[in-house]
Structures are given as structure tokens and as C-alpha cells.
Structure 1
């Protein structure tokens, strides 16, 4: 912060001069840039030079200090004003604080009081400017993050986490057009996929960006269409006051997007809802309809009402149970998977179509778990799809789905077992090759294999029946026993070769594990 600019306003020259001489203004980080003998002159000076601080007398001709201060603060609220007053004017001056005047000084003016006030002013201005700079930085960050925050609001809205007032308030802030008076809406979800599987991640991102621009251009004439991308990389469109030709419009859009042959496009459309609080239902319906492409193929418009037998029947996913199912699958727990599956289907279904929607939710979680665990040949994939599409009664569908879920869980469990077994085999080899390292322990070994010590410890116990320390001690003692049999190395030398550098501790450990001291062991060998 540079020097602060000070203006002195008083109709008495001696008072102004006294204030200039009382303190070293430069040491206070201030410089007096001007003086004025009356308020009119001072107002003109303020407009031209914008001082940081003004010291003003109360009683001046024409316009007094209080009115002068009020005019200045109205135009320049950041200027700090200090009123200079006598004891008889004190009560009058104190009222000026309500106007926003920073402080006042009593006459006669003492250097100590003036220094106290200037220190206070410098601190106030410095804090305000620091806050101002921080606020500008925050505003710049807000500007940069505005598109992300806008999409975050839209995502929360469509997931049903906002109240009606919050939706309108945030929509106004982010410039999202919400129709006033007519709030009926219908939501579409679009999935863009490359026509070729050989595209890089960058090419896929560019493809989606190109398609998003074409979609925006397609609906540009309709100001009440909200477009954004959700966390699944689906392009979501919220149509307000939708017309009956919405599905037909998307048929045309698919043709436009796929005419180059570089991508496939699938569109899911939810049912029409009458108010903005039901947007989450429309979003869920659009996503479930979109998922139905697995049954009918790509480049299709799928309306949610077409995949249920009764358009008035509503089905809502149980996110908590689906999350539990996905977790149980990921750890390969077949028993828990069956229990969660039983809970999911314990609700009453009014039709096979509703059950199929629930089955698709489960099917999706199985696919997600298989992908995350890198199960390349997902078991019974096609058979389960056919069962979901063709089953005429619930027991048949339930049996097929349960069999499929169990197969996925067991495939994941089998892979994890193989992976864990391979890891322990590698750890055993590592311990064998580094047995002479006295620093080797659970933490360092876990770090070498990029796993947590707790996880490695549990796997060692599971695979060997011993704790890590027990296993390591055991192989060290076996190595020591071999060296005693085959070499004439001294005890401390053997200890060093098996990673135990303290001879006393090594002797105790050897006797504890083999039942004899090293001398006794060696003597018995010689006797033989």
C-alpha cells in the first residue's frame, strides 16, 4: 500500500498549519495533498484528487463540516473522514458518527491523539483494501468457475435436492430460463458414443463437444430449453411447456448428428411433469429410458412411457440399496449380494414392466461392478438380457436375475482371490530376497507393493495362517538354521545375514524358535 492522501479542511489557517506540524505524516505512511478553507472549495478538491482521508472542522462558513461530510460520503463512501471539534461541540460531533464518519479529534490537537487516529485510519484502510483485493480474487475465481457452478446447480435440481424457492433463486442467479406461470417440463437424456471403438479419450471428448454444439444450435430458437452435461457425460435437455412432437424432433436431431457416420446417438425421454419440483422424476425416467437402448439398439428415441405398461404407474429406484448392491458385488460377497437383492425386490410390483425397470437397475450395477473390477468376459450377459425381455412372470425373471448377479459376484471374488494369491507369492519372494535387510518390515514391504500395511497384514494372515512378523521371523530362523548347518559363520555373522544385527536379541530369538541355543545346535550337529 502506497502513501495515503490526506486533505485538511478548516477555515482557520493556523489550525491547518498546526495539524501539519504536529506529527511526521511521512512516517505515518501519509502525505497531505491539499488544504481547503471552506466546504465548497473542499468538495471541488475531493472530486479532482480523491483523497483517502479528510480532516475537517465542524463550524465553517456556508456549509458546516457535518453537511460537507455527508455530501462526500454520499459520493465516495470509501473516504475516511475525521471531524475536528472543540469540547463544547462534542455532542454535536458525536452525532456525525451515524453518518459514517470514522472518528473525531478534540481541540486543542495533541500529537499523541493525532498519531493514535492516523494509526487507526491506516490500519482500517489497509484491512479494507486487503479485503477488497481478496474479494476481487474471489470474484475472478467465481467468474472462472461459473459454468461449473451452474451445471452443479442443474445437477442438484434434477436430483431433487433443492426446494422450490431455491430452484427459482439459483436459476435467476445463474441465468437459467425458467418459464413463469407455466412450469410443465419434460426431460431428455442424450448419450453420444463413437462409431469406432479405436478412438482416444481426447477424440471422444472432442466428439461430445462437437455434438453438444450441434444440439445447442438445433434448439436455439426455443429459449425455454435448458441444456447441460451431467456427471455421466450425458447431455441433458429440460424442455419447458413441451409440445406433442418432442419425440419426432429428436428423431430429426439423431439424423443430423449421425449423418457424418462418426458417432451413434441414443435419446431417452421422460414423461411430462407439471412443476419444477418433479424434475428429478423426469430425469430418472429419461435415464432409465436411455438405458433401454441395451435392448433395442443405438440411434433410437426411447420414451419412458413406452417401456412401461401403465403410464400412470411410477417406479423409483432405491439408491441406497443399489449402492449397497454395487459394494457387495465389488468385494465379491455372494451371500450379501443375495440379501440385498432380496430387499430390492421385496417391494410390491403392480406389473412385469415395473419389475423389469428394477431388474435393469440391478443389471446396470452388475455391469458397473464388472467394468470397475475389469471382468472382461461378463458371465451370462446375453442370457440375462433375453430373460429380462422375454420373461412373462416374476419367478422366471427373478431366478434369471439372481443367477446372473451371483455369477458376477463369484467372478469378481475369483479374480480378487487370484490377485491376492499372486500378491502374497510376490511378497514371499521379496522377503526371501531381502532377508538380510534389518529395516524390512510390514510398512516398508507394503510400500514396495503399493498397498496399505493393514491390507497386506490381513492377506498374509489369510494366506499363510501367520502374521507378517511371525512369517518373517520364521523364514529368518529357517535361514539361520541352514547357515548353522552348512557354514562356520559366527552367531553375530549369521544374525547379520538374516537381518537381525543385535547378537543378544538374535540368540534369544533363535533359542525361542528352535528350542536350543546356537552352541547347542552346533554341538548336536558335530555329534552326528
Structure 2
């Protein structure tokens, strides 16, 4: 409901208008009526109506004068002039005073109702706009901390001009940093399973914890602390003294140790270079990020200053062909211990080298490629596992430390050794199976020899003999003899009886006497005795 007041010096007019309108039906609450502008002004300031219907010519204070005061004291109150005067000068004054409408009497109840409905729609729209604006202001207030962080992030990235920066410092109520300046970046290290469980696997909660630690550590300094979209915490230190480098490192150590001690996870702190103006701040910030990258070489949970890591401009980096040869050999022979020692040797050499970080990345990627190629030569190009290795190579940035690369290399070399061993075992079984099939097809031949079988499977006699016994538990000739004698037993029980010397010839023995001696040695009886015993057995 909108409050409405009526101002007219004629009581009959006031009563007639009041009685002719069903105010609630049109969305209004009739808040009262007054006989002149002076009386009405006091009531308006007290009641604060949304709409005033007023005559112009009234004693003590006319409608025009009243409207002037209302415009200053209650600007949200709309005034509609209802008057019998249609002179042009009245209309001009009313327009200058921003009177909402100027209606010439007489006005019928129907016309007045239409006027009231139209003004209500306008009041509804304005109320909705005010409500929307209030919501926006509330949302803005809620977003101010985030907007402040995005401003500071743009500042250190160099994507905002100095004039705009000046305005934003004032808007957010921030003290403008005084050179010299230094940026330090705090980045959360990778968590172990215990730390993830402690922090409910909530990285935002961890980042806030690190942010609070940084705030407390810089509480008594001239510093701006904020969080970036990349989930880092950045502190901008200003007014840095000339001899304060060690002090900055000490502050960074305080942040690192406090996070580890109280929050039970670790961070690495990158310290940027000193800069002499706000415009140079992006250089200091970039240096702090570059320092963080050296975790790849130096590991987690430390303070890293780029100045301490400067390398000479010239360096030598020959490829380690001997290492590659030894590693491929260790993979082939399936020695886990040797492959692990070689990997540890490679990682140790990189850590102690004076190579720039970019070169270490290249050496690491080259070594990973060589490793995958060695595995591919042994296992071939098929299989999901090798495709996964290729995908890992394309994302070397996912390895944040050399320790991660070391663990990955040890894992894939171990998996490769396992697969190579399985492949060899499968191949050995195929070769032994092929030899057995060859024996079963040729055992009747008296000339069948170990060399014949080895030539068939393309293996040396010594290696094949060892492999055959591993898979069957017998030597190759023991296996041939067993096949021959088992066949002879079957033939000795045949009807009509087959002569012994024919049986001997059919199972690969040209000398019947030798066959009989061999049969008795393995079976315990002569062929004849075996036949006689078989024929005496009762039939079922």
C-alpha cells in the first residue's frame, strides 16, 4: 500500500475526493488531508507519504510554495497539482519544480482513479528499482573482498594503469604501497593422504589458512596480502630498507614454519626481486613465481630466492648415451635394483648441476622419452599402458618436483620389467608348446634328436634344454622316451597282437633288443611280460 495525502482549502472538495475513491482497491492508504500548504508540509515531513494531491491557491502557503519545500525535504514524495487554474505561468512553475503531474479541475472520479492507477504503476516500478539497487549494493559489499583481491592481482600482473590503480586504492580504502617494493608468493605443496584427510580434501580451506598465517606474519609491516586465482597467497611488502634482504627471507621463513607447525601442511615461498616503483612491481612478482618453479629441482617446503639461483650464461649439457644404454640393458635383464640405482643417479646429477631450470626440464623430458622408447622396443607399440606413458610425456608440467619424476620413472620401469617378464614367459610357453607338438608328430622317427627340435623352435640347445625342463619337469629326451613308451604300452594291448619288433619300429626304435631293455628299465617288466599281464586281467 502507498500512502496518499490530500491538500485543499475547501473541505467539501476534500470530502468529495476522499469518499469517491476506494483507496485500498487502487493500492493506496489514505493518510490524511490538510487545508493549506503550511499544515500539509508538517504532516508530509512526519508521515512521509508516497503521493500528495494538492490544490495551488490556498491560504498561508500555496501549492507551489509547498512543493518547493517538499522537493527539498522529501524528494521521493510525488506531488500532483489539482487546480482550477490553467494559466500558463502556473504550469511553467509546476514543471520547474518537477511536479509529477498537473491536472486541471474539474476531474471526474473515473479520471482520478485512472490517474491513481497510472501513478501506482510508476511507484511499483520505482520500488522495484530501489529494491534491485539495494540488492546490488548488498552484493557489492559482499564481493568487495574478492574485488580487492582481483585488483591487487591485476596490479602485480601489470594489467592496470597507474591512474586507475590510484582510484582503486582509494575505492578499496587501501594505503598505496611506498617503494621500494618486494613481492613474495606462497604456494601450497602437494599433500599426502593424511594431510588431505585432515583438511577434508578442501583446498580452499587450506588456502585460507595459509592466507591467515601470512596476514599475521605481516601484521606489523607495511604489506598487502591477497589470494590469486591460481590458489597462491601473495604479500606485497613496501617501504623496504636497503639492507633488509635477510629480513625479507626471515619473514618468508616465519610464514613457512608457521604453516608447517600450526596447519600441518607445507608451503614453498618464492621471494621476488626488489623494485623501485609501482610500475616495476610485475617484475618482482614474476621473479617470485620463477623462484617457486625451482621446487622442481630443490623440492618442497622451503624459501627460494631467485637471486640465489642465478646460473652462468654458458654451460655444457652433453647427452648421456652411456646412461641410456645401461638403463635399456637393465630393463631387458629385469633387474629392479639396477634400474632404480640408475634413476637415482640421474636425478642426483640434475639436483647438483648448475643447469638453468629450463634445461633441467628439457633433460628430464628427454630422459623420459628415452625411457619410453626403450620400453616400446621391448614391448612393441600396442597396449593402453604405453599410450598412457605418451600422455604423461605431453604433460611434464604435471611433475612439480624431481622427486615426482623419480617416482614416476621407478614406477614405469618396474611395470615395464613385469610386462617384459610376462611377455618372455608367454613366449617361452609358446616355444615349449611348439616343441611338444613337433615331438608328438615325429616321435616315430628313430633319427629325431635334440638338435632337430632346437632348430624347429630356433633356440640354442643349452637354453632350450633349460627352458624345456623348467616348463615340463623333464629333459627333452626323457619326454620323448615317455611318449614313445606310453604309445608302446597301448600297442602291446592291441588285438590281434602286434609283434614286439614291429611295435619297437613304430615308436622310433630300430633295435628291438634296445627297445626291450629300455622298456624294462622304465616300466619294470619286459614288453612280453607286460602283454601277458594285460591279457590275464579280467574284463569288466
Mark yes or no: TM-score above 0.5: yes
**In structure 2, C-alpha distance between the alignment counterparts of 1:187 and 1:56, rounded to whole Å:** 66
The equivalences for 1:4-19 within 5 A come to: 4-19=2-17
Aligned to 2:161: 163
Superposed CA deviations along residues 72-106 of structure 1, whole A, max 9, x for unmatched, are: 22222221111123344343233333333211111
The equivalences for 1:169-184 within 5 A come to: 169-179=167-177, 182-184=178-180
**In structure 1, C-alpha distance between the alignment counterparts of 2:75 and 2:382, rounded to whole Å:** 68
Choose from 303, 306, 310 the match for 1:301: 303
Aligned to 1:429: none
Aligned to 1:216: 215
The residue matched to 2:26 in structure 1 has which SS?
A: coil
What TM-score comes out, normalization by structure 2 length?
0.56
Choose from 376, 384, 390 the match for 2:353: 390
Offset, 1:229: 1.8
Name the CA shift for 1:398/1:29 in 2 (closer, same or farther; >3 Å): closer
| 2:181 is aligned with 1:185 | yes
Offset, 1:256: 3.9
Choose from 185, 196, 199 the match for 1:200: 196
Choose from 282, 285, 295 the match for 1:283: 285
**In structure 2, C-alpha distance between the alignment counterparts of 1:62 and 1:136, rounded to whole Å:** 39
The equivalences for 1:347-366 within 5 A come to: 351=313
Q: Indicate if the aligned counterparts of 2:195 and 2:265 stay in contact, CA closer than 8 A.
A: no
The equivalences for 1:325-404 within 5 A come to: 351=313, 383=346, 386-387=349-350, 390=353, 400=363, 403-404=366-367
Aligned to 2:46: 48
**When the two structures are aligned, how many residues end up with a matched partner?**
353
**In structure 2, C-alpha distance between the alignment counterparts of 1:145 and 1:184, rounded to whole Å:** 30
**In structure 1, C-alpha distance between the alignment counterparts of 2:62 and 2:22, rounded to whole Å:** 28
Aligned to 1:455: none
What TM-score comes out, normalization by structure 1 length?
0.58
Offset, 1:404: 4.9
Q: Indicate if the aligned counterparts of 1:160 and 1:279 stay in contact, CA closer than 8 A.
A: yes
Name the CA shift for 1:417/1:32 in 2 (closer, same or farther; >3 Å): farther
The residue matched to 1:27 in structure 2 has which SS?
A: helix
Q: Indicate if the aligned counterparts of 2:56 and 2:81 stay in contact, CA closer than 8 A.
A: yes
Name the CA shift for 1:187/1:15 in 2 (closer, same or farther; >3 Å): same
Aligned to 1:267: 269
**In structure 1, C-alpha distance between the alignment counterparts of 2:86 and 2:113, rounded to whole Å:** 23
Q: Indicate if the aligned counterparts of 1:19 and 1:109 stay in contact, CA closer than 8 A.
A: no
Offset, 1:383: 4.0
Q: Indicate if the aligned counterparts of 2:3 and 2:49 stay in contact, CA closer than 8 A.
A: yes
**In structure 1, C-alpha distance between the alignment counterparts of 2:372 and 2:59, rounded to whole Å:** 92
Superposed CA deviations along residues 119-159 of structure 1, whole A, max 9, x for unmatched, are: 22101110011122222333333333333332222223222
| 2:69 is aligned with 1:71 | yes
Unaligned runs of 5+ in 2: 318-339, 389-540
Choose from 105, 109, 112 the match for 1:111: 109
The residue matched to 2:235 in structure 1 has which SS?
A: strand
Q: Indicate if the aligned counterparts of 1:103 and 1:117 stay in contact, CA closer than 8 A.
A: no
Offset, 1:47: 2.5
Q: Which is worse superposed, 84-93 or 27-36?
A: 84-93
Name the CA shift for 1:385/1:12 in 2 (closer, same or farther; >3 Å): farther
The equivalences for 1:89-104 within 5 A come to: 89-104=87-102
- RMSD of equivalent CA atoms: 3.9
Q: Indicate if the aligned counterparts of 2:86 and 2:104 stay in contact, CA closer than 8 A.
A: no
Name the CA shift for 1:138/1:398 in 2 (closer, same or farther; >3 Å): closer
Q: Which is worse superposed, 268-277 or 170-179?
A: 170-179
Offset, 1:276: 2.6
The equivalences for 1:439-518 within 5 A come to: none
Offset, 1:116: 3.2
Aligned to 1:251: 253
The residue matched to 1:198 in structure 2 has which SS?
A: helix
Offset, 1:307: 2.4
Offset, 1:420: 11
Offset, 1:42: 0.9
Q: Indicate if the aligned counterparts of 2:207 and 2:232 stay in contact, CA closer than 8 A.
A: no
The structure with the larger Rg is 2
| 2:105 is aligned with 1:142 | no
Aligned to 2:121: 123
Aligned to 1:339: none
Offset, 1:398: 9.2
